[in-house]
Amino acid sequence: MSLFDQFCCSVCLEVLWEPVTIPCGHSYCMECIKGYWRKCELKAEFSCPQCRRTFSPRPALSRNTILADIVEKLRRTGIQDAGGKAADVECDVCTGKKHRAVRFCVKCQMFYCEMHLKPHNERNRGRMHPLTEVTKQLLKRICSRHNKLRDVYCRTDQQSICSLCFKDGHKGHSVVSVMEERMEIQVTNTVEKSVNCTKLHKILTCMVFKQKHLEERSAQAVEDDSEKIFIRLLRSVERKHLEVKELIRGEERTALGQTEKLLERLNQQIVEHRRGEAELEALSNTEDHIHFLQNYKTLCAPPDAGGRPSIDVHPYFSLLILRKALAELRDKVNEVCDRESTKIAELGEYRNTDSQVHRHLQQTEPRTRGDFLQYCCDLTLDPNTANSFLRLSGDLAEVTTDHEPQPYPDHPERFISWAQVSCTEGLSGRGYWEVEWGGGEGVSIAVSYRTGENIDQKLGCNSKSWSFDFSDSLCLFRHNKFSVEIHTPMPHRVGVYLDHRAGTLAFYCISLAEDTMTLLHREQTTFAQPLYPGFWVGLGSTLKLCRTLSFSA
């Protein structure tokens, strides 16, 4: 066994990269063990790929610094030598003593030394048998363990392997040739590309229609009507006349400006999509199957067609109401003028788009910790939702994990698969609360709808919940299939602000010593139901709700 074999990951069969050691003592690449455990999330039972020892909940992963230093030194002192040896790839035709290969035939998928290269060329003269040099790029396709070409693709582990790797560690896995895998991926990409093009065409058609409709329904007609009416009015209403004209023009400029921005964003998406198509087309023409498999994932991701702000193609006030109001001005002059012009101003002030409502509500969003504390709410942990491995304090303000299950009675809202607990209070207005936590495995601070879908899923991993995960090595915001990592010093006191009507959810790092709060993440969305604060607590961790008295302190 070589020195490199002693430091190989049993999942990817390569030298350890970012090594981590799990509780049973075995070490793996951080991404390899994460990917292996990701397949076990539905079972909520995480095991070691080698000894099959199970863990629940999932152990926290921390970089093994000593092992990482050893592997790094091994790479610095041995990789170049190993690369030199790999450059001396043996000829696949030689028998007995193997000679060094000088060329690789793409068609035959074989290495040839100088002696056997000539017969190969003579035998295949006039045929498409392209030859390439034995370069470092080519050697990336050679298995480091068996010095064989990686001509097989393991769909189970999603990696290219050689025939000997298949016999050693991939028995029972779904494997195909690299050519077959590439062809299937290209067929799938062709279908997805067609679907994406259709979606982008529909979006463009819709935006062009909206722009044309907005131009046709512009404020010009209202302006003409108002001009005829105000001519007959006394000079005392001249000022109101000018205000109405300015309101109309302002709303028209705003609506057109929003449409132009949306069209600009859409054109940018189309340019990026076409650039990706060109790159994918170039990749599809390469004869190097391994190069294709190594690069297609970064090129075939579909463009994100979601998340587009909506636009109302109508002006932000009712043309019919305005015309009616102006007609009444003609008969009632000063009295009706004052009343109806105020109504018109109010209609223009409040626009019928979500972005404007959010902007209006955010103008009054708290800015200092003192402002946030005006909305603080006392929360109570709900024993009916607590997982059996969670122990609650007597005042239902503190929760910690336990090695032995608690004798909780059966309840339809109890979390079954994850060490989670929800609060009794559902929030549908503004609310603010703070929590403190400690321990090595970390916690998740979340809000969710009270639905039966959550009992078998981790908070933040579905469309009904939003969570912020904290551990000693990671801060991560999660919602459904979306996640974003936050790079910040680890906070152990966290504030959460919710404005249900505005669709605002924000997480803050709280420093009592400096009496400051730092924004970690703000999520802007639309909430359809009351939200219940909830928490996941890792093994050995403790979480405490900070009640009102501790706020005032």
User: DSSP for 220-234?
Assistant: HHHHHHHHHHHHTS-
* pLDDT average, residue stretch 366-394: 89
Q: How confident is the model at residue 20 (pLDDT cuts 50, 70, 90)?
A: very high
Same-domain pairing of 405 and 269: no
pLDDT (tens digit per residue) in 172-212:
888 888 878 888 888 888 888 888 888 888 888 777 776 66
AA identity, residue 61: L
Domain for residue 451, yes or no?
A: yes
Structure tokens belonging to residue 197: 């093009």
Q: How confident is the model at residue 354 (pLDDT cuts 50, 70, 90)?
A: very low
Q: How confident is the model at residue 469 (pLDDT cuts 50, 70, 90)?
A: very high
The model's pTM: 0.39
- Cα 64 from Cα 45, distance rounded (Å): 23
Same-domain pairing of 393 and 267: no
Identify the sign of the CA torsion 237, 241, 246, 247. Answer: positive
Domain for residue 154, yes or no?
A: no
Same-domain pairing of 291 and 377: no
The CATH code of the domain that includes 64 is 3.30.40.10
pLDDT, mean over the chain? 78
Per mean pLDDT, which of 35-44, 58-67, 130-139, 227-236 is the most reliable? 58-67
Domain for residue 188, yes or no?
A: no
Domain for residue 55, yes or no?
A: yes
Domain for residue 334, yes or no?
A: no
**How much is the pLDDT for 88?**
65
Domain for residue 116, yes or no?
A: no
Instruction: Identify the three-state secondary structure at position 53.
Output: coil
Same-domain pairing of 276 and 389: no
Q: Which of 38, 58, 77 is the last residue of a domain?
A: 77
> Among 155-169, 240-254, 281-295, 387-401, where is mean pLDDT lowest?
240-254
Same-domain pairing of 262 and 406: no
Same-domain pairing of 274 and 404: no
pLDDT (tens digit per residue) in 265-298:
888 888 888 888 888 888 888 888 887 887 877 7
Q: Which of 302, 326, 350 is the last residue of a domain?
A: 302
Q: Which residue(s) pair with 21 in the sheet?
A: 27
Owning domain of residue 45:
19-77
AA identity, residue 243: E
pLDDT at 391 over 80: yes
Tally of domains in the chain: 3
The CATH code of the domain that includes 471 is 2.60.120.920
Same-domain pairing of 377 and 452: yes
pLDDT (tens digit per residue) in 521-542:
999 999 988 999 999 999 889 9
- Check if the beta carbon of residue 385 is closer than 8 Å to that of residue 414: yes
Domain for residue 49, yes or no?
A: yes
Same-domain pairing of 298 and 405: no
Q: Which of 257, 283, 302 is the last residue of a domain?
A: 302
pLDDT at 353 over 50: no
- Cα 268 from Cα 258, distance rounded (Å): 16
**How much is the pLDDT for 552?**
39
Domain for residue 244, yes or no?
A: yes
